[in-house]
Structure formats: structure tokens, C-alpha cells
């Protein structure tokens, strides 16, 4: 069995750094003490070893495809849906009354990490089914809940999110799929949706599509978008299923995640497609954001997990591949000596440390965001809004950093394998192809960056940013108590101030009405802020490790704690200083990317 994850890292972040078992003091989460969480993690790993990892490559080689009006996927999809349904893993965070397990989001995200490391295609099928069932539970009426949710939670029926249309991807205000009210309370749906993940296959008896629709006569833009349940088969009076005029027109053939089907759905070609409104008309995008926010954390974790699996593949290769000799003092090489494993070359160690820093830092950030999610719902009442604001601020970063830097870390991992990295005998090329989608779906990096700078930073007069700064200062204070960490705490303090002054400079454009200029380099700002946020997470991990060393703790090997501190140092030497370059770009008075009549950019 290949080594695709190290559970010690996950458990250290959960139990030692975040102290997730404290959540069991909240009544809703009382079942989730450290012992039960450990059992859940270990049993998920066992399942991932036996069922998910063995088909990871095969799902790529025999990817989903379309034939005779049907989408064909790997048979493991059927087994996975059924197994997840049977063990309650499709909607584990839901209330007991709704068929859930009241699992904290933090634990759910941690378990997702284990499965996504083993196989980054399979969990999407259940993730979208659980997410769409959650939307119905949150905003649908009782009839919708009773009709659809139970069979989604058993995995018999799949769920999807249908936003994208050929002419409306990033710009959802331009969707044209229409809904006309019928006398019986249903609506006739007409339009098409593209790129719909998990939208059709033979292993579910029905598909429950959550579709963004414009009801005839609704206002233009996002204020006129409503959310509908549109099943592939509608339910007849006697409880049977009849076709609902939802036609699968194709399956997109992709460069990666080939085992995860991506369908083209046509609604109402024969004027017989019916949908049922979820919640109130024209509030659909607001409702959909609940699912999208969850899906963004999920995509971030899938990226972090894909990069984690790639890291362990590179590490194993670097330990086993002999090549060249070390340079000894005086610059000599002993050509008589045996070749050394490449893990002993500084440049290879640099690439491995980059992979470790990016992946473990990303996992920490995603668990931190999920922890804020739990506290925003069930933490002390007077603090819930603050945790919610922190989650809102961090979500675009938690989605984007692992997607963008995870890809770069896998590229370095592939480099470690030399020419073999480019070949299909080794998994790095597949990880590299698979991760490429993460910065595209669920809002591209450009769109996430606009969300960060244009919306999240400025919301409530910058309140979330102030809260985040307080969180960072708390970690700096704690780290400063340890001599070995003090220089890094000081470095983070300076970096945080650099970020703040750069932001103030940009806000000057916003305040003087130069809105396009304010957001023109939002993606560069995203890179800069992500580096500071990751540095915060790394200092927090290093402080946790140092405290464990000081206390003589032996939960993990001594080397484990030391390697956390070492990787933090790597991040502070190689990654955090990049914000100086970001600052120069963001403070420059040259504006090279804004279209105006005088500037010739492309000729």
C-alpha cells in the first residue's frame, strides 16, 4: 500500500493545535471526544486503503464517458455511494432528526482529507449529494425535505449543483434558464446547464438537481435568481418515478479528475420538465451560497489532499532513488563512493520542504476555517458573529491557496522524480493533472480574489480583517515566549504590518472612486495575504510543537515535533519574504492591466 497520508499530521493539527476535542463540551457535539474522533479517522483510513486508493489510477485510465445517452462511470462509484449512505457519511453534519450524525464540520473536513488523499475523484459524488440535501433541509419546505432528502442520504439518489450555463460561468447574473409557474405549484423549467459534476450515471436511481433559474418576469441580475429542485425523474402519485424531461447531452472529457463525470444537462426540451421552488423566489443565489461556501472549503481540501498524496509519493521516491554524490567540504566529490539517495541533495530537500510546507500549512488552514464554522454555529452566542466573519474572510484564501500552491508543490514533486515524473508509471503526472481543476471550479482564482479584496476585506468596515489581525497577534504573543520562535514571531509581526500598509494604499484607490484600479491586482493581493495567513498557521503549529517538546510529550516521535519547527523555518525563509515583491507590485504607480484608449498592450 502506497503511503498517501500521514495521520499523525492530521491528528496533531486537530487535537494538539486546534484542540478540537474541546468541541465535545458543546451539547450538540458531546459524542465527539478525542477517542471517538480517533476511531472515525482510523476507520476512514482503513476504508480508503481498501476501497478508494486501489482504484485511483484505474479511474483515471478508464475515465467517465458518454455513450447512447448514458454516462458510464467506474463501478466503484456505485459501491462508494452505497457504503457512504450505509454508514451515514453523506450528511454527517446534519441534525440527528434529519438523518445526520451532528458531526462537527472540523471532523467532517478531516475525514474528507483522508478520503481525498486516497482518491480525489470519488468524494465529489457524495460531497455534492450531501451539500444539495443540506440546501433542501435549510431552505426547502417540508414536502421537499420528505420527498428527496432521505433517499439522497442513503446514496440511492445523487445530488448536484447546477449554476453554470454556456454564456454564464463566473457571471451568474447572466443565467437564462427559465421557470414558468404552473397551476399545481410546480414550475416548467427550460434551459441548459453545463459542467455539472456527478450529474448522471447508472449507479443512482434518480438525480436531484439544485438549479439556478430565472422565473419569468424576475428582475435582471442576481436579484432575479431563484433556486429549484429539478429531479431527473419526478415522483408519481403512487410513489413511482417518471421521466422529468431532463436529458443528459454529454460528458465533458477532461485533462484530470477523469473518474468524476462532468455532464451537460438539458432541461425541458419537450416542454415537460418540472421544478419546485426552494424557499422564496429571487433569493436563490443567497441560498446557493450556503452550498458554495461549503464546496469552496471542500475544493480547497481536495487540492490540499491531492498535493499531500503527491508529497508522500515524491518523498518515497527521493528516499529510494540513488543519483550522484554529495559535495563534501572543500568542494570535492568522492566518485568511488556509492551514489547517494537524492533526498540528500539540498535542491531536492528544498522541493520536498516546499511540498511539506504547502500541504501541511493548507490542511491546518482548512481545519482552522472549519473550526470557525463550528464555533459560528454552536460556539458562545456572543462570539458567533465574529467566528462567522472570520470564516467568510478566510474562505476565498482556503479555497485558492491550496489550489494554486498545491499545483506548484506537485510540480516540484514531479520534478523530484526527474523524467519518471513525466511518465504514467508514477502517480505524479496524474496528481498534477488532477489538481489543475481546483483553481477553476467553485469560482476561479480571479473571482475568489475579487471576493476577498472587493467584498470580504471591506465588509462591515473591515471588521473581519481586524478580527484576523487579533488572531495573528495572539499567536505572535504566544510564540514570542519561546526564544527559538521569537525571531519568527517578529518576522510575522512585520509581515502583518506590511500587509496592512499595502492594503491601506489600495483602499486609497477605492476611496477616491478608482474602483477598477482597486481590484485590478486582486490576485496579487490574494497571494500576498495568503502568505501571511499561512505564516500565521505555521507559527501556530511550531508553537504547539515547541510547547509539546518543553512538556516532554511523547504522543509523537521527537523528530515529528522538530520537523514541524523546521518546516515553519522553511516557510519563513523561502515563502513569507515573497510578500516584499507583492508589495512592490501593489504599490507601483504604473497601471499596466487596466484597459484605456491610450494604452497599447497587445499588438
Ligand X SMILES: Cc1cc2nc3c(=O)[nH]c(=O)nc-3n(C[C@H](O)[C@H](O)[C@H](O)COP(=O)(O)OP(=O)(O)OC[C@H]3O[C@@H](n4cnc5c(N)ncnc54)[C@H](O)[C@@H]3O)c2cc1C
Q: Which stretch binds ligand X (CB under 6 A): 367-375, 444-452, 491-499, 560-568?
A: 444-452
Pick from 161, 369, 485, 542: which binds ligand X (CB under 6 A)? Answer: 161
- Based on CB atoms, which residue is closest to ligand X, 11 or 193? 193
CB of 463: closest distance to ligand X in angstroms? 25
Continuous segment of H or E residues that includes residue 547: helix 522-550
Is the separation of the CB atoms in 228 and 213 below 8 Å?
Answer: yes
Does 442 qualify as catalytic in the annotation?
Answer: yes
Residue matched to cell numbers 456527478: 198
CB of 284: closest distance to ligand X in angstroms? 13
> Measured at CB, which residue is nearest to ligand X?
169
Pick from 437, 467, 475, 576: which binds ligand X (CB under 6 A)? Answer: 437
Q: Which of 442, 481, 514, 516 is catalytic?
A: 442
Beta strands of 424-532 (E only): which ranges? Answer: none
- Based on CB atoms, which residue is closest to ligand X, 183 or 601? 601
Pick from 56, 441, 518, 570: which binds ligand X (CB under 6 A)? Answer: 441
- Based on CB atoms, which residue is closest to ligand X, 276 or 441? 441
DSSP 232: S
CA of 28: how far to CAs of 16, 18, 31, 386, in Å? 22, 18, 8, 20
Is the separation of the CB atoms in 292 and 451 below 8 Å?
Answer: no
- Based on CB atoms, which residue is closest to ligand X, 498 or 585? 585
Is the separation of the CB atoms in 390 and 466 below 8 Å?
Answer: no
Continuous segment of H or E residues that includes residue 404: helix 384-416
CB of 223: closest distance to ligand X in angstroms? 18
Closest of 36, 43, 30, 31 to residue 15, by C-alpha = 36
Task: Please name the residues in contact with 470: beta carbons below 8 A apart, sequence gap of 6 or more.
Answer: none
- Based on CB atoms, which residue is closest to ligand X, 77 or 492? 77
Distance CA(232)–CA(349), nearest Å, equals 52
Closest of 458, 466, 465, 402 to residue 434, by C-alpha = 402
Distance in angstroms between the alpha carbons of the first and the last residue of the chain: 54
CB of 291: closest distance to ligand X in angstroms? 10
DSSP 322: B
Pick from 181, 446, 454, 462: which binds ligand X (CB under 6 A)? Answer: 446
CB of 110: closest distance to ligand X in angstroms? 24
**197 bridge partner residues:** 262
Report 91-150 residues binding ligand X (CB under 6 A): none
Q: Which stretch binds ligand X (CB under 6 A): 163-171, 269-277, 413-421, 489-497?
A: 163-171
- Based on CB atoms, which residue is closest to ligand X, 18 or 162? 162
433 binds ligand X (CB under 6 A): no
Report 164-223 residues binding ligand X (CB under 6 A): 164, 169-170, 195-197
Residues labelled catalytic: 442
Residues forming contacts to ligand X in the complex (CB under 6 A) are 160-164, 169-170, 195-197, 254, 262, 437, 440-441, 443-444, 446-447, 450
Amino acid at each position: 500500500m502506497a503511503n498517501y497520508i500521514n495521520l499523525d499530521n492530521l491528528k496533531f493539527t486537530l487535537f494538539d493545535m486546534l484542540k478540537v476535542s474541546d468541541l465535545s463540551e458543546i451539547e450538540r457535539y458531546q459524542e465527539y471526544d478525542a477517542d471517538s474522533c480517533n476511531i472515525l479517522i482510523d476507520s476512514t483510513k482503513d476504508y480508503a486503503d481498501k476501497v478508494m486508493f486501489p482504484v485511483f489510477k484505474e479511474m483515471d485510465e478508464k475515465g467517465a464517458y458518454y455513450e447512447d445517452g448514458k454516462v458510464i462511470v467506474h463501478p466503484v462509484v456505485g459501491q462508494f455511494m452505497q457504503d457512504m449512505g450505509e454508514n451515514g457519511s453523506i450528511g454527517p453534519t446534519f441534525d440527528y432528526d434529519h438523518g445526520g450524525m451532528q458531526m462537527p464540520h472540523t471532523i467532517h473536513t478531516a475525514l474528507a482529507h483522508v478520503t481525498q488523499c486516497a482518491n480525489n475523484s470519488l468524494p465529489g459524488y457524495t460531497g455534492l449529494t450531501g451539500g444539495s440535501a443540506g440546501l433542501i433541509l435549510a431552505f426547502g419546505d417540508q414536502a421537499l425535505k420528505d420527498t428527496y432528502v432521505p433517499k439522497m442520504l442513503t446514496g440511492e439518489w445523487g445530488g448536484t449543483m447546477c449554476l453554470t450555463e454556456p454564456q454564464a460561468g463566473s457571471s451568474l447574473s447572466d443565467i437564462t434558464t427559465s421557470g414558468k409557474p404552473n397551476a399545481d405549484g410546480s414550475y416548467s423549467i427550460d434551459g441548459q446547464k453545463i459542467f455539472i459534476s456527478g450529474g448522471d450515471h447508472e449507479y443512482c436511481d434518480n438525480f436531484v438537481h439544485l438549479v439556478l433559474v430565472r422565473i419569468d418576469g424576475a428582475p435582471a441580475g442576481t436579484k432575479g435568481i431563484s433556486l429549484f429542485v429539478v429531479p431527473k425523474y419526478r415522483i408519481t402519485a403512487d410513489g413511482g418515478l417518471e421521466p422529468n424531461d431532463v436529458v443528459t447531452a454529454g460528458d465533458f472529457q477532461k485533462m484530470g479528475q477523469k473518474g468524476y463525470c462532468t455532464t451537460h444537462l438539458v432541461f425541458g426540451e419537450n416542454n415537460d420538465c418540472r421544478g419546485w421552488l426552494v424557499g422564496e423566489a429571487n433569493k436563490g443565489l443567497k441560498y446557493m451560497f450556503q452550498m458554495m461556501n461549503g464546496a469552496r472549503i471542500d475544493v480547497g481540501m481536495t487540492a490540499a489532499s491531492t498535493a499531500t498524496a503527491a508529497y508522500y509519493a515524491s518523498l518515497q521516491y527521493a528516499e529510494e532513488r540513488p543519483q550522484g554524490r554529495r559535495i563534501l567540504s572543500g568542494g570535492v566529490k568522492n566518485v568511488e563512493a556509492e551514489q547517494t539517495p537524492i533526498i540528500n541533495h539540498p535542491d531536492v530537500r528544498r522541493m520536498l520542504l516546499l511540498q511539506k510546507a504547502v500541504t501541511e500549512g493548507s490542511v491546518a488552514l482548512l481545519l482552522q476555517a472549519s473550526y470557525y464554522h463550528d464555533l459560528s454555529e454552536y460556539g458562545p452566542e456572543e462570539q458567533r458573529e465574529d467566528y462567522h466573519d472570520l470564516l467568510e474572510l478566510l474562505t476565498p484564501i482556503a479555497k485558492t491557496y491550496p489550489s494554486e500552491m498545491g499545483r506548484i508543490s506537485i510540480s516540484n514533486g514531479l520534478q523530484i522524480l526527474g523524467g519518471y515524473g513525466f511518465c504514467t508509471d508514477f502517480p505524479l503526472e496524474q496528481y498534477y493533472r488532477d489538481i489543475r481543476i481546483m483553481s477553476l471550479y467553485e469560482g476561479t482564482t480571479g473571482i475568489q480574489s475579487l471576493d476577498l479584496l472587493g467584498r470580504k476585506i471591506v465588509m462591515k468596515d473591515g471588521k473581519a480583517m481586524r478580527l484576523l489581525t487579533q488572531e495573528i497577534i495572539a499567536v505572535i504573543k504566544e510564540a514570542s515566549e519561546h526564544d527559538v520562535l521569537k525571531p519568527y514571531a517578529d518576522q510575522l509581526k512585520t509581515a502583518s504590518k506590511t500587509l496592512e500598509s499595502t492594503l491601506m494604499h489600495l483602499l486609497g484607490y477605492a476611496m477616491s472612486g478608482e474602483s477598477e484600479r482597486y481590484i485590478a491586482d486582486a490576485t496579487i493581493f490574494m497571494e500576498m495575504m495568503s502568505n501571511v495567513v499561512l505564516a500565521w498557521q505555521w507559527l501556530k503549529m511550531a508553537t504547539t510543537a515547541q510547547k509539546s517538546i518543553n512538556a516532554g510529550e511523547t504522543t509523537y516521535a521527537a523528530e515529528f515535533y522538530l520537523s514541524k519547527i523546521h518546516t515553519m523555518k522553511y516557510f519563513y525563509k523561502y515563502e513569507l519574504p515573497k510578500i516584499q515583491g507583492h508589495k512592490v507590485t501593489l504599490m507601483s504607480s504604473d497601471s499596466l492591466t487596466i484597459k484605456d484608449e491610450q494604452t497599447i498592450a497587445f499588438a
